[in-house]
């Protein structure tokens, strides 16, 4: 059975800290791994990763995929209170997405 | 226009009511999705429409009835729901089914009394 597991489930840090969120998976035949940020409503897209070992960066956020070890990480440096959200990873396969359990991040001022 | 819109934003209904959730996109996407999300859980796929045809039904109870009248619209008809059906219902679209990124709507928060 396809499975996507994220860790930690929740995390509390202070502004300025660096965090690393993990996403491990047991999914066959997926096209890409995606990271989303979800605040109060709909998930918003952060990154799409299709190739192993290539880091994607956007400002203070970066992500990388390891297809051999079957995981991805999302790094957030110099965290801000606005980074507080649930971070979801999802694997895109034929027709559908499989979402991970999510990591709830809270950044304290 | 890179937006998926959903109406209503909030809905309260009794177990004997019939209501509908609506989703619309004008990005020319040919795949549309319904997800259900309970509090503190990830979204769970319910239905996938590809080129206006139902492609996936993830064993959803028949009290949820999807409809795709055209390539821009996706409805979810609700009838005889249970309190445990209370959740955030998210609509999403993508250029084709399973492709690249899904664009999510803001969701409809449903409460069944």
**Tens digit of each residue's pLDDT (9 = 90 or more) over B30-42:** 999 999 999 888 8
How does pLDDT run across B48-57, given as a tens digit for each residue? 999 999 988 8
Measure in Å the smallest separation between the Cα of B17 and chain A Cα atoms. Answer: 25
Residue A25 vs residues A68, A72, B31, B83: alpha-carbon distances, Å: 11, 9, 25, 32
Whether the predicted pLDDT of B21 surpasses 60: yes
Phi, psi of B25 (to 5 degrees): -140, 145
Q: Is B39 on the interface with A (CB under 8 A)?
A: no
Nearest CA in chain B to A93: B98
**Chain-centre distance of CA B48, in angstroms?**
9
Q: What's the CA gap between A46 and A34, in Å, rounded? A: 7
Whether the predicted pLDDT of B8 surpasses 90: yes
- A-B CB pairs within 8 A amount to 56
Q: What's the CA gap between B90 and B6, in Å, rounded? A: 8
């Amino acid at each position: 059975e396809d499975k996507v597991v994220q860790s930690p489930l929740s995390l509390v840090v202070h502004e300025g800290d660096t965090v690393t969120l993990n996403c491990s998976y047991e999914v066959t035949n997926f096209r890409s791994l995606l990271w989303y940020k979800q605040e109060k409503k709909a998930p918003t897209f952060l990154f799409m990763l299709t190739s192993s070992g290539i880091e994607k960066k956007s400002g203070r956020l970066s992500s990388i995929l390891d297809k051999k070890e079957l995981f991805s990480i999302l790094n957030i440096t110099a965290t801000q209170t606005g980074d507080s959200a649930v971070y979801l990873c999802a694997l895109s396969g034929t027709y559908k997405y499989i979402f991970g359990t999510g990591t709830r991040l809270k950044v304290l001022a | 226009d890179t937006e998926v819109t959903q109406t209503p934003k909030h809905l309260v209904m009794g177990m004997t009511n019939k209501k509908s959730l609506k989703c619309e996109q004008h990005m020319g996407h040919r795949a549309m999705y319904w997800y259900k999300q309970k509090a503190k859980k990830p979204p769970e796929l319910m239905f996938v429409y590809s080129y206006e045809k139902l492609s996936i039904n993830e064993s959803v109870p028949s009290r949820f009835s999807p409809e795709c009248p055209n390539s821009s619209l996706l409805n979810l008809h609700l009838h005889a729901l249970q309190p445990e059906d209370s959740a955030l219902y998210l609509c999403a679209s993508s250029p084709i089914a399973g492709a690249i990124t899904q664009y999510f709507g803001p969701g409809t928060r449903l409460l069944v009394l």
